[in-house]
Amino acid sequence: MLDGGFSLAAYRPLPIVSMSRFARKRRFPQRRDDDRPASARPSAAPRDTTRADDPARLQKVMARAGIGSRRHCETLIAEGRVEVDGRIVTELGTKVRADQQVRVDGAPLARTRLVYYLVNKPSGVVSTNFDPSGRPRVIDLLPPTHERLFTVGRLDMSSEGLILLTNDGELANHLAHPRYGVEKTYQVLVAGAPDRDMLTTLRDGVHLAEGLARVASVHVKKSLPKSTLLEIVLREGKNREIRRILAKVGHKVLRLKRTAIDGLRLGEIAPGEYRRLTGDEVRALRGHGRGASTKRPPGRRPRTNPRPVRDTAGSLPGRDKARGRRQAVADKVVAAPSVTKRAPRGRREQAWKGKRR
């Protein structure tokens, strides 16, 4: 009994449960994405793989031509204001070919042309096309156009540098989705002087909420009295990834600028200026996209040991050897001499005592 009238007997110690990480994995196995049902898997980045000569939904074709958003185009179709080859269409989801003539309120629909712009985004400009706050947008830096443009990937408001705008959804998907591993180069000014161990940590990976984030390469470009200029190459695009991983290792980002996407470099374009991509540049980016579509996903290693080839008899060459070894072991066990049966423990103790006497 203690001074305050409390008794130690009333307090029962809690059981201490210790479980290793291997036991936790056996008891609570993690489900892979492939084991989940299709409805529960994380959705991939939006993609648009429709070719120009493939049938496409009518509202999608109208949105590409600059009539408006897809929802607005669906409203026009439902109101009976759209004609396809002289016939009024009111059914949503109707597909049209490139050789069919589409009219909206009697005016022919303009042919969709693919355009590609390279913009040097300045700091303080947002990448989104719709901003309720009314902040300056990247798309406002371009001249007025009928095409429905969107950015390839994102740069946060404080970042600057190279960003692409296009209406080519297939190319945008290949360049922006992390599974294709397109390299993006950044120049990052950080506070302090990162050492060699910190750079190694960035290459090995830093744990974030979404998982492990690692850079493809990083090296010091210039050392200043109170800061350091780094060049970082990424093959993935998590939200504010560079700022977050550098904050994890104790270095604040003072300035971040994207200088290249794959082989396309920013060059001498002034902040806020733009230029059209040349045909060779577009073909080079498309070539990377086609090659990346057949490239194995990052993180999966190729098979190093080839599968054994079956012989003419239909059996595997290594299987017969294994069967022979097992049979030899079984023969030894059968042919082993019988072991003499030992006497019970009590008799052995009595015999031992008798010997001592």
**CA 90 – CA 80 distance, rounded (Å):** 5
Task: Provide the annotated active-site residues.
Answer: 156
Round the CA-based radius of gyration of the chain to a whole number and report it: 34
**CA 2 – CA 15 distance, rounded (Å):** 24
Which residues have C-beta within 8 Å of that of residue 182, sequence separation ≥ 6? 174, 175, 176, 235, 261, 262, 288, 292
Residues forming a β-bridge with 184: 234, 261
The encoded tokens of residue 14 equal: 């809690």
Looking only at the bridges linking them, the beta strands covering 160-166 and 253-261 are: parallel
Q: How far is CA 82 from CA 98, 110, 157, in A?
A: 16, 14, 39
Secondary structure of 4-64 as H, E, C letters: CCCCHHHCCCCCCCCCCHHHHHHHCCCCCHHHCCHHHCCCCCCCCCCCCCCCEEHHHHHHH
